[in-house]
Structure 1
Amino acid sequence: MQHITPTATELDEKLDERSRDIFRRIVESYLTEGEPVGSRNLSKMLPTSLSPASVRNVMSDLEALGLIYAPHVSAGRLPTEQGLRFFVDAFMDAGAVSDEERAIIDQQLGSGEGHPHTEQLLTEASQMLSRVSSGAGLVLAAKRDGAMKHIEFVRLEETKALAVLVWESGEVENRIIDLPAGMTASQLAEAANFLNHHARGQTLADVRRAINAMRGEIRAELDALSASLVERGLAVWSGANDGHPRQLIVRGRANLLENLTDAEEIERTKMLLDDLERKDEIISVLDMAEEGSGVRIFIGSENRLFSLSGSSLVVAPYRDTNRRVIGALGVLGPTRLNYAKIVPMVDYTAQLISRMIERE
């Protein structure tokens, strides 16, 4: 039988005020100290007098609901991943970024006039998120969205060619692409001429949308092999579904290993660092953030990539001058991230980046 995880509302309906208070204190203690909390200590924290035995009864009910667990025999309790998700959805008041935090973010990102190029801005955002969170700062960026100047195909071997794309900014990007079998030099030139005619002065995303809309015209103007190369070349360059090649910026990996003493925690963190090296999979996770309009939180096994390392990701999308989502940024760290602090900071940073990109 398939296990169906209850919603936050369903779980909340099963808890009375005393259970909510005890559960909240267990989670807050974990997020602050990272240690299990026992019934004796909990009984001292509560505003009303409650014996350790009564607290244990409540903890037993919370454990039966899958919200807490005992990491060792006779130990205190810690929240499960389901418990953390329930806490974030039902209890956490993220609030807003304080004036002091806002001033720090504004200053570190240089939000005044004359800010450097977008790539440097995003790198600084990743570094800043790492510093304020003590986790790893992640930014998924559209690597290129400038206007194109020229496209050329250079044959390397029978079925391989170097696709050379020159931007109006003077930057050059090279990609190796597969050629259709039997492609001649004249067909290579024909495909390049067609692309140059339609792509000059356009962004790669705009070119891809235009080419997709005129497939019939392509087939009429070009022979089958040249048309195939036009479509294949754009697919290789564009990478993501929206036509933006993806660049991943990660800062603060070392933060994830600081202050760890437990051998199991160290091993899980090493797994997480390995995860960060798998760029394509991290990008697929950040891509999911672009499906919503605000901050998203992935806790532990809610995402397959972090199921072994037991990590959390707080992430939000940012936009370009046309209000299109073009990337995402966030914080990656252990499940005991300070969500109440990090969520509004990630949200504010994403909004600030969007405003600064709009001004460029």
Structure 2
Amino acid sequence: MSDPVRLPSLAELDARSRDVFRELVETYLDTGEPVGSRTLSRKGAFTLSPASIRNTMADLASAGLLTAPHASAGRMPTHAGLRLFVDGLLQIGDLDSDDRREIDERVAAAGRRTEDVLGEASTLLSGLAGGAGLVASPASEAPLRHVEFVTLAPGEVLAVLVSEGGSVENRLMRAPSGLPPAALIEAGNYLSARLRGRTLAEALAEIQTEIAERRAQLDEAAAELVEQGVADWSGPETRQLIVRGQARLLESVEAAGDLERIRMLFEDIERKEGLLALLDEARNGQGVRLFIGSENPLFSLSGSSVIVAPYRNRDNRIIGAIGVIGPTRLNYARVIPLVDYTARVVGRLLASR
């Protein structure tokens, strides 16, 4: 197997190559179309002939920074080229006052329920950034006061979790058909006693051990219901992935060849666990994280970009992440500060409650 090609750093590019590379990438991000040498020569950014620009573009392509979708087409940045541009040449400014005001007002007006705030944040990011908005909700961390089970339909039970602060969370569960009311009451009393004043994360291990060692003093039906609840609440469904604005991804499709990429992107978005894992990577950093195309296995086919930032609770601990997903030609200079500011607004609002 041949060794991977080593890509040049910006310092290894001469001034002409850097100028052509910067102008080409900025033009591509603005138009979404491959850029030709004549297009660059007409922009007046530098006094080079189309032939000189073409030769420089060929050198950049040989270095792995540019590619051509067709033999006769212009050039566009590779994923590695975009990464080099974002890390070394992209100029990120502050949001203007109108964007800040819209984010502040819409997040504040979303209501008091956390899921409403996160849903509105995802929606407004989609609208402002031109991609799909993503939010990973935090796992439930409030100390609990009471748990109750209510039968909804055969095989379905609603678990009602009441926190110490009085907020109520409803979770739909699978349950054995024909579960007697006494078992619902017994299971609720058992969980209320062990969860009172503690978070789910703090008490689940103890409950699981008691059930496994048959020390829970529950009859068979109630024990089965508690086991099912513990299994559901300790899995990925304890967190929610909120996606808004997939239709906006279609608005930017101009070339027929993009349709297949958008279809694959929709399939990527459907992989909830993969997206949650990706958003969780933002929790390992202090600020905005950017994943371009093949840098993340989830988007190796669709070649999408994701920009994510964490948000924090009142203890300044990271509890979730918010971001935007879209084609690699996202307007990074605009979207990066949008995501960062929205995450900070959401964190401040949730921390104030």
TM-score range, shorter chain: 0.7 to 0.9
Q: Retained in 2: the 8 A contact 1:27–1:84?
A: yes
SS class of match (1:308): coil
Note if 1:14 corresponds to 2:12: yes
Which residue does 1:257 correspond to in 2?
A: 250
SS class of match (2:137): strand
Q: Retained in 2: the 8 A contact 1:163–1:177?
A: no
SS class of match (1:25): helix
Shift of residue 337 of structure 1? 0.3
User: Mean Cα displacement is larger for which, 131-140 or 318-327?
Assistant: 318-327
Note closer, same or farther for the CA distance 1:290–1:236 as it changes in structure 2 (3 Å cut): same
Note closer, same or farther for the CA distance 1:171–1:103 as it changes in structure 2 (3 Å cut): closer
Query: C-alpha deviations, 1:282-305, integer Å up to 9, x for none?
Result: 222212222212111111122222
Show the 5 A alignment for 1:1-360.
1=1, 3-4=3-4, 6=6, 10-45=8-43, 47-110=45-108, 115-142=111-138, 144-151=140-147, 164-168=159-163, 169-176=167-174, 195-208=191-204, 211=206, 233-240=229-236, 245-360=238-353
Distance in 2, Cα, partners of 1:22 & 1:120: 46
Distance in 1, Cα, partners of 2:37 & 2:159: 66
Q: Retained in 1: the 8 A contact 2:309–2:343?
A: yes
Q: Retained in 1: the 8 A contact 2:134–2:242?
A: yes
Note closer, same or farther for the CA distance 1:161–1:222 as it changes in structure 2 (3 Å cut): farther
Q: Counterpart amino acid of 2:86?
A: V
Distance in 1, Cα, partners of 2:184 & 2:245: 44
Aligned residues: 342
Q: Retained in 2: the 8 A contact 1:137–1:250?
A: yes
Note closer, same or farther for the CA distance 1:208–1:52 as it changes in structure 2 (3 Å cut): same
Note closer, same or farther for the CA distance 1:298–1:5 as it changes in structure 2 (3 Å cut): farther
SS class of match (2:9): helix
Distance in 2, Cα, partners of 1:192 & 1:5: 61
Distance in 2, Cα, partners of 1:58 & 1:176: 62
Distance in 2, Cα, partners of 1:220 & 1:18: 74
Show structure 2 runs of 5+ residues with no match: 177-181
Note closer, same or farther for the CA distance 1:44–1:161 as it changes in structure 2 (3 Å cut): closer
Shift of residue 142 of structure 1? 2.3
Note closer, same or farther for the CA distance 1:17–1:208 as it changes in structure 2 (3 Å cut): farther
Distance in 2, Cα, partners of 1:276 & 1:200: 37
Note closer, same or farther for the CA distance 1:77–1:353 as it changes in structure 2 (3 Å cut): same
Distance in 1, Cα, partners of 2:315 & 2:2: 44
Distance in 2, Cα, partners of 1:263 & 1:318: 37
Q: Counterpart amino acid of 1:318?
A: Y
Q: Retained in 2: the 8 A contact 1:139–1:248?
A: yes
- RMSD, aligned CA: 3.5
Show structure 1 runs of 5+ residues with no match: 179-185
Q: Counterpart amino acid of 1:313?
A: V
Distance in 2, Cα, partners of 1:13 & 1:132: 34
Q: Retained in 2: the 8 A contact 1:190–1:222?
A: no
Shift of residue 15 of structure 1? 0.4
Query: C-alpha deviations, 1:154-174, integer Å up to 9, x for none?
Result: 99xxxx996845324344323
Distance in 1, Cα, partners of 2:48 & 2:143: 68
Q: Retained in 1: the 8 A contact 2:291–2:307?
A: yes
Shift of residue 58 of structure 1? 1.2
Query: C-alpha deviations, 1:60-113, integer Å up to 9, x for none?
Result: 1100111001111132111111111111111112232222321221122227xx
Q: Counterpart amino acid of 1:317?
A: P
Q: Retained in 2: the 8 A contact 1:177–1:236?
A: no
Distance in 1, Cα, partners of 2:172 & 2:253: 42
Q: Counterpart amino acid of 1:252?
A: G
Percent identity of equivalent pairs: 47
Distance in 2, Cα, partners of 1:279 & 1:98: 33
Distance in 2, Cα, partners of 1:187 & 1:107: 47
Distance in 2, Cα, partners of 1:74 & 1:172: 58
Distance in 1, Cα, partners of 2:223 & 2:316: 32
Distance in 2, Cα, partners of 1:354 & 1:335: 27
SS class of match (1:263): coil
Q: Under a length normalisation based on structure 1, what TM-score does the superposition of the two structures give? A: 0.81
Q: Under a length normalisation based on structure 2, what TM-score does the superposition of the two structures give? A: 0.83
Distance in 2, Cα, partners of 1:152 & 1:107: 36
